[in-house]
Chains A and B, each alone.
Chain A
Amino acid sequence: MSTVEELQKRVAELEAILKDKNDFTGSKREKIAEMSAEVVDSNPYSRLMALKRMGIVNNYEKIREYTVAVVGVGGVGSVTAEMLTRCGIGKLILFDYDKVELANMNRLFFQPHQAGLSKVEAAARTLSFINPDVVMETHNYNITTIDNFQHFMDRISEGGLNGGAVDLVLSCVDNFEARMAINVACNTLGQTWFESGVSENAVSGHIQLIIPGESACFACAPPLVVASNIDEKTLKKDGVCAASLPTTMGVVAGFLVQNTLKKLLNFGEVSWYLGYSALSDFFPKMKLRPNPTCEDSYCRARQKEFNEKPKPVVADVPAETIKEVHEDNEWGICLVDETSQDAEPETKNNLELVEGVRAAYTVPETCPTQGPTIEDTEVSLDELMKQMKSL
């Protein structure tokens, strides 16, 4: 190390960090004990409290009693957290294991000088500066691993301002595994949450309210896709995994927080599933019923509890019958038909999907995996591990 160039670079880095620190101590506002509706230029809550006077929300100041967990502080999660902070939410719990990178700068919220900092740390600093009244809790880890998952569940069930469960969990993660982990946690705890997502081609997105037992959970059906109204065959994934646009992420974050506010403060109508197709400005909406044969046993348990609860009678929509899908099973493996792009007729399963939304794929019951299966063995795990090593 220690060429002049390297040292200069290091000095510049340290200066940036110092400047960052000074910015945050420079003109920090004092905490405000109670939200006031007084319209003065020094009151950050006056325009929010005006919602009460206009009769939109009855109890805006109640927002300070609520705790929201934001899982994933990327393009959607960071903007979501900022909106909630500016709205004066009581407490935010942020989860993410990633660092801020310059490659994230096509998105909103994070700034180049924060590159290298953990996302939760950088976000908490900015957010506390914007609104010091919000209680911040951050966790810089991957929720899907065995080492962290129990802690994640504990923070969901005990992280609320009153020491109880949080009021809402918002999933702003960018991958299937993490969504499934949140789904497991929320089904287990009976925790209400919102799923959100932006497609890998950046031109569609969705939010989905999940109340375990009452609505479909994330595992009740294959992931849903909002039709982009472009020929999927022309979509090329060669050379890149994913694209992203700050616009689509901003729209989805806006939908997510809007519905969070409606849910928490009890005004307007909360959407169960709301899709967004950017290319055609199309917004499909629907409710998804839970799948009685969902593979998540906690989902089924929550459904049972929900069904046993007395509730107002609503007209039942007849369920679609499961469409049988014939599969070539010559290989004993349940294969995906790679020739047919239009999965439309076979995607219904038990789902009543609104036009413009389809399942990403199907899991037909007519295609059981067959083939040579592992044989029982007396050989111990240690022995197998050794065998593997000595291959």
Chain B
Amino acid sequence: MDDKAKKTLSAIPLLKTKAGPREKDLWPQRLKEEYQALIQYVQNNKVADNDWFRLESNKEGTRWFGKCWFFHNQLKYEFDIEFDIPITFPSTAPEIALPELDGKTAKMYRGGKICLSDHFKPLWARNAPKFGIAHAMALGLGPWLAVEIPDLISKGVITYKEKSEQST
């Protein structure tokens, strides 16, 4: 991780409540914190002119979906994101998936779950339960897109599609 990545990561507020979706009493509090951290992270990204994803969840906060996008040669490539919150969260991170890329790259597990670097799991384990979804995005999906998307474009696996205007 370079200093820029560390700075981005350390600017995401840490979470306080250790609770997974099975803990009926505490989960709503944790969920609020998840949203607060995500809102802050998206705002930080906007300030840094690096707005790159949106997420929302079902009302229980157990199923998440949204979009991420990546600019390459001034063209915007957009992908759907989805993941479930495992019952072991926040001891284990959510497994972020980009289903439309399933089967297109070896850097994915079944179902389009992204393959994380060797540093992700130790980092998560060392910082649990203070890391949340925003940290998983910054540490997991962000670097994955930066490496894999240019590669997939150069291989012709993904091509630019004219899409509707930017969602902001």
User: Which residues of B are in contact with A by a Cβ distance under 8 Å?
Assistant: 1, 6-7, 9-11, 13-16, 21-22, 28, 31-33, 35-39, 42-43, 46, 54-57, 59-60, 62, 84-88, 91-93, 95, 106-110, 115, 117-119, 121-123, 125-127, 130-131, 168
Contact = CB atoms under 8 A, between A and B. Distances in A.
B84 A144 contact: yes
Size class of the A contact interface (CB-based, 8 Å)? 35 or more
Contact of A360 (B59, B86, B121): B121
B6 to A, nearest CB: 5
A372 B13 contact: yes
A332 B10 contact: yes
A181 B88 contact: yes
Contact of A331 (B7, B56, B118): B7
B81 to A, nearest CB: 14
Q: Is the interface of A mostly helix, strand, loop or mixed?
A: loop
B35 A336 contact: no
Contacts of B119: 336, 338
Contacts of B54: 388, 391
Interface of A: 98, 101, 142, 144-147, 149, 175-177, 180-181, 184, 219, 222, 237, 239-242, 295, 331-336, 338, 360-364, 367, 369-375, 377, 379, 381, 384-385, 387-389, 391
A264 B133 CA distance: 42
A387 B39 CA distance: 8
Given A240-B107, A241-B107, A388 B38 contact: yes
B79 to A, nearest CB: 18
A370 B11 CA distance: 11
Nearest to A343: B122
Nearest to A101: B110
Contact of A180 (B14, B21, B88, B168): B88
Contact of B62 (A146, A222, A239, A240): A146
